[in-house]
Amino acid sequence: MSALLFSASRLTKGNLVKTALLFVLSIVFVYSFNYSLSNIYADSLLAAYLTATLATAITIKRKTDLAILFLAMFVLVLVKQIGLVLSLLVLFTFFSYNIAKYGVGHLKNKKFYLQIIILSIAIIVSYYSWSIYLSIYSQVENPIPKSLDYFMSSEFHSKFEATVNEFIARIFNNGYFNTGHGIINLSFITLLIACVLVFVVTSIINKKQSKEIITIGLSMVFSFALYNLFLLFCYLVFFSEYECVRLASFERYSATYSYALFFMASAILISSLPEKKIASLIYSVVIIVSILYLSPEKMFKDFQKIVPGEYNYQRRMNVERLVAELRGYMKEGDTSYFIYQNSNGFENFVYSYLQLPFKTSRDCWTIGKSYGNDDIYTCNRNISEVASGYKYLTIYKADDNFWNDNKKFLSEGSSAMESGNYKIEITDGKFYLKNITQ
């Protein structure tokens, strides 16, 4: 909320009415992109923080502004791994905007290059400081690069074709941005076109700053395209096959930059509204009333009271109980794997948070045969294939599908449990599970 308020004030140059209008809209946008203020995912926070960083990047006037941008870009990398890519895109927008504002001759300005160097240092130092911190707790993850043979194989070609087809289908699907009562329901591509039109129309209305507006629009639309292509690359190279071909959680990841783009387009449009108080007030009242009517119902529920649902609360407590038992056995550098069959990953996120600073598994928390066409998370592998290299196994919930494939890995005297902790042992090169929970 503070990041959004900061962005609104910054982009409307402190105009109280316009700031209030943009701030209200920014909260509605959170829910229109299917985010909320009441979940544990970092994507909505990242979207708000990215917006604030971009707002700072195009409004720098004093040295203190550069210091704020330095700090913002430094922290952006720390919020989430993808923040590294987003910070580079912010740097690109900063560069483009300054060239448009001051002309090509600005490239000869040593002070400008010094600013670029300072901001680059923020990104580099942040990235490596975080890597060093993770290495202290043996948390550094080095993805095993796929061999060239894999990328030339028919297996990858099939995966590539299925993923790209799904990507194309998803960018045309409605529901990417929606409002209450189903009045506005936009697809990825429609939202992008709408933002482009806003930038074009606003540049015509505000002729004095048309060059800067067009530059912001072009740089952000280009960055938006690059960001989503990078996401597609990550699905193909780093995600499991089940997540890859189904683009699991694509809208949530993609909306991080979409939110910033839509916010920026709205901010530029609102900034171009008449400065006269009466006209500005009338516009604001009409827009706010309309937007509040269009706001998703969940927003009003969260504003009344944000409380953990009893079901989710119980799930967290169950995970906490398992973690509390396991932590008594773990030592520095130990790792653990998490299993919850036929689930969406909520418990896996909770588990990862509760296990910090210990390293935990990131994906394939449900394994074996697929549970149906709608199952986008289950990896068709056994426990020895996914958990090799880990020291412990936590099972939140196992079923027959799990134990039919993995009962053979139980050590002598150990039993199959629906829920509990196991120690992973490698004896004579063979994988075994030994009961911790009795």
Please state, in angstroms and rounded to a whole number, the distance separating the CA atoms of residues 119 and 149. 39
CA gap 213, 203 in Å, rounded: 6
| Residue ranges, the chain, pLDDT below 50 | none
How far is Cα of residue 402 from the mean position of the Cα atoms in its chain? 30
Residues 232/171, Cβ–Cβ less than 8 Å? no
What DSSP character marks residue 410? Answer: B
What string of H, E and C letters represents the secondary structure of 26-60? HHHHHHHCCCCCCCCCCHHHHHHHHHHHHHHHCCC
pLDDT in tens, 175-196: 899 887 777 889 999 999 999 9
3-state secondary structure (DSSP) of residue 149? helix
Contacts with 329 (C-beta within 8 Å, 6 or more apart), sequence order: 392, 421, 423, 436
For 328, the token pair is: 């008594």
Can you read off the two tokens belonging to residue 48? Answer: 């708000």
Q: Can you give the residue ranges of every domain in the chain?
A: 2-304, 310-435
Residue 434 DSSP SS3? strand
Q: Which of 90, 354, 330 is nearest to 226 (CA)?
A: 90
Residue keyed to tokens 């937007």: 291
Tokens (6 digits) for 55? 């707002």
Per-residue confidence (pLDDT) for residue 49, from 0 to 100: 95
Terminal-residue alpha carbon distance, the chain? 46
| Maximum pairwise Cα distance, the chain | 81
Q: What is the C-alpha to C-alpha distance for residues 14 and 1, in angstroms, rounded to an integer?
A: 17
Three-class secondary structure of residue 276 per DSSP: coil
Looking at residue 367, the DSSP 8-state letter turns out to be B
CA 169 to chain centre: 21
**Pairing state of beta strands 392-397 and 359-360?**
unpaired
Q: Is the Cα torsion angle 72, 75, 77, 83 positive or negative in sign?
A: negative
The span from the CA of 362 to the CA of 350, in Å, is 11
- Exposure b/e, 220-249, CB count within 10 A at least 16 = b: bbebbeebbeebbebbbeebbbbbbbbbbb
Long-range contacts of 136-140, Cβ-Cβ distance < 8 Å, separation of 24 or more = 137/332, 137/333, 137/357, 137/358, 137/359, 138/332, 138/333, 138/335, 138/359, 139/357, 139/359
| Residue 400: HSE in the Cβ half-sphere, 13 Å Cα cutoff | 0
Query: What is the C-alpha radius of gyration for the chain, rounded to an integer number of angstroms?
Result: 25
Record the pTM: 0.78
Q: Dihedral of CA 74/79/84/85: which sign? A: negative
